[in-house]
Chain A
């Protein structure tokens, strides 16, 4: 099952992943983005490709 992992050292809170994800896997919690529903991920890699800081990786 694909699972997105956020590298918080690289993340600059651009929120691209939240806007881009077709399955609404990511959510904003307080002042950081979290992988709220990893079971929904279909591995389309839209977040991985479009993150401006390269902070997301999809683990199979």
Chain B
């Protein structure tokens, strides 16, 4: 006979997930949970066309994270912004230069983000031009982002203002076809800690491997020396024997 489990009956409930106030708190989705506290931390990806009712923005995806609850409605915050890979594939063509980059920067309210811009030129460009483009857009973006808050940055990305202003500035260096932000994501404190731990582990492993290699090399060198010494001794012995024989013959 199977033992009967004695547990309280828990019924899962539906909770509505709502977009942030920048997107008019529109309904994004629903989720099931025993306890509303379990929803916090869940993420949901939404197409921007559904959020803004603008079909032109269907190539942009926004990731929302549940941060709180209010009257059985889960409140969210944008965590990442990304463009669809097919859109990027469509704008990259032969005879144009496509410059991909990725770097970390901090917003005005001290939130760390990773940003991945993509620059597409009208024609093929020389290495010097590409270098200067990368240098200038890195500096410009870092400067600009450090002056505005995270929410403002998301708003500017969504409305394409940041991309347009950057394109206008970079046009002076070399004519551009487009300037896009391929990806932007918020780096949380936990992720940063995990990454640093991973980096530390990697460096430790590298050190271990290096030490092992050094020990092996030293052992090899000592063996070689021993072999050389024994060979030398043998040669010397042979020479001395020959000399003795020659002396005897004489």
Contacts and interface: CB of A to CB of B under 8 A. Distances in A.
Interface stretch (B9-17, B50-58, B66-74): B9-17
B32 A50 contact: no
A5 interface: no
A35 to B, nearest CB: 18
- For the side of the interface on A, what is the size category? 10 to 19
B6 interface: yes
Contacts of A50: 7, 9-10
Interface in A4-60: 10, 12, 16, 19-22, 42, 44, 46, 50, 52-54
Contacts of B7: 50, 52
Given A22-B32, A44-B32, A52 B10 contact: no
Contacts of B13: 22
Contacts of B6: 52
Contact of B9 (A10, A20, A22, A44): A20
- SS class of chain B's interface: helix, strand, loop or mixed? loop
A49 B6 CA distance: 12
Nearest to B34: A46
A53 B4 contact: yes
B11 A22 contact: yes
B5 interface: yes
Interface of B: 2, 4-7, 9-14, 32
26 contacts: A10-B2, A12-B4, A19-B9, A19-B11, A20-B9, A20-B10, A20-B11, A21-B11, A22-B12, A22-B13, A22-B14, A22-B32, A42-B32, A44-B12, A44-B32, A46-B10, A46-B12, A50-B7, A50-B9, A50-B10, A52-B4, A52-B5, A52-B6, A53-B2, A53-B4, A54-B2
